[in-house]
Amino acid sequence: MTKTLWQLPLLLATVGLLAFGTSRPVVAGSAASAGGWDILGEHTVKYGETLYCIGRAYGVDPWAIATQNDVTYPDLIYPGTALDIPNVPATLPAGPVRAAQFGDAQAEPSTCGGCTCRWTHTVSWGQTLSWISIYYGADMYTVAQCNCIHNLNYIRAGASLCIP
């Protein structure tokens, strides 16, 4: 029993070194070890941003951003997180874009609202944004942009949507 008690601080110190000793320094403009790519700059995540909209802003592969920054769950990035943007060009499908925070922006930031409504739709329980956009023949991303919807998978029943 006494042998185990004196080994406890050593065990805790070892676990602490393993947990905190794996962080890497952020060095802009140099090749980083995670992906081995040159870094274009650093982007600080804002509310409503996804890896895809950040990737579209710089013309960069979102999976490379996730790999470069050791993002385990690409759907979970938090506001305030600083991401190194690797130099891995990619052509992405159309969708929401956020403002680039450095360099020459390849896309303009999206603004929400200000659309002319052709129809107004009240969301019923079980309906999705993709179903609603198909029903009206409108682009899902345009409907989301006009209604300031940041998460395409989350709309509330009872909400009134502007369909452009």
Instruction: Quick: pLDDT tens for 31-64.
Output: 444 567 889 899 998 877 888 888 888 889 999 9
pLDDT tens readout for residues 87-135: 988 887 766 677 788 875 444 444 555 678 888 899 999 999 999 999 9
pTM: 0.48
- The total of other beta-carbon atoms located within 10 Å of residue 128's CB is 14
Q: 26-110 has which CATH code?
A: 3.10.350.10
Q: Which two tokens stand for residue 72?
A: 């385990």
Q: Among 90, 96, 97, 83, which Cα is nearest to 40's?
A: 83
CATH 3.10.350.10 residue window(s) in the chain: 26-110, 119-163
Cα–Cα–Cα angle for 35, 37, 41, rounded to 5 degrees: 110
Q: Round to whole Å and give the CA distance between 107 and 137.
A: 25
Only one residue has tokens 């802003």, namely 57
Q: Which two tokens stand for residue 46?
A: 């804002």
Amino acid at 19: A
pLDDT band per the 50, 70, 90 thresholds, residue 82: very high
Task: Supply the DSSP string of 44-78, one letter for each residue.
Answer: E--TT--HHHHHHHHTB-HHHHHHHTT-S-TT---
CATH architecture of 119-163: Roll (3.10)
